[in-house]
């Protein structure tokens, strides 16, 4: 059974710092991986979707990488801002015929002004 782990569970950084969030998964046979952001008491907002054939995706200050063979993905946030404070979750989709996601428990990011 696929398991997704996100370490650390919480991270606090000063404003302006570049940072990396980690996501690992036990079964490398994935179709794609998606990063989400969740603000307190809110739903999930999709940030980046990486297909299994891709190595990375970029959107603004965000860059997500995928290394399927090692079962790892990273989300890089450049020049962090207090507005980036949120919980970041990664989720993997096992195959083209499956529409179910397996989620990590998230990393809670605090960017200190």
Partner 1 sequence: DGGITQSPKYLFRKEGQNVTLSCEQNLNHDAMYWYRQDPGQGLRLIYYSQIVNDFQKGDIAEGYSVSREKKESFPLTVTSAQKNPTAFYLCATFQQGIYGYTFGSGTRLTVV
Question: What residues line the site for partner 1 (CB under 8 A)?
Answer: 32, 34, 36, 41-46, 49, 89, 91, 93, 99-101, 103-106
User: 10 has which bridge partners?
Assistant: 108
CB of 20 to partner 1, least distance (A): 20
Which tokens hold the place of 107?
Answer: 């990393």
CB of 11 to partner 1, least distance (A): 16
Residue 34 or 85 having the CB closest to partner 1: 34
Residue 64 or 80 having the CB closest to partner 1: 64
Burial 85-100 (b: 16+ CB within 10 A, else e): bbbbbbbbbbeeeeee
CB of 36 to partner 1, least distance (A): 8
Taking a C-beta distance cutoff of 8 angstroms, is the pair 109, 11 a contact?
A: yes
Residue 14 or 41 having the CB closest to partner 1: 41
Q: Is the dihedral of CA 47, 49, 55, 60 positive or negative?
A: negative
């Amino acid at each position: 059974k696929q398991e997704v782990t996100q370490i650390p569970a919480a991270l606090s950084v000063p404003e302006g710092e570049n940072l990396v969030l980690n996501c690992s998964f036990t079964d490398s046979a994935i179709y794609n991986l998606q990063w989400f952001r969740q603000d307190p008491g809110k739903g999930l907002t999709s940030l980046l979707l990486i297909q299994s054939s891709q190595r990375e995706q970029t959107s603004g200050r965000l860059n997500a990488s995928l290394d399927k063979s090692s079962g790892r993905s990273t989300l890089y946030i450049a020049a962090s801002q207090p507005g980036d404070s949120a919980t970041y979750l990664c989720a993997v989709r096992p195959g083209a015929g499956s529409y179910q996601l397996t989620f990590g428990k998230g990393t809670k990011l605090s960017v200190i002004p």
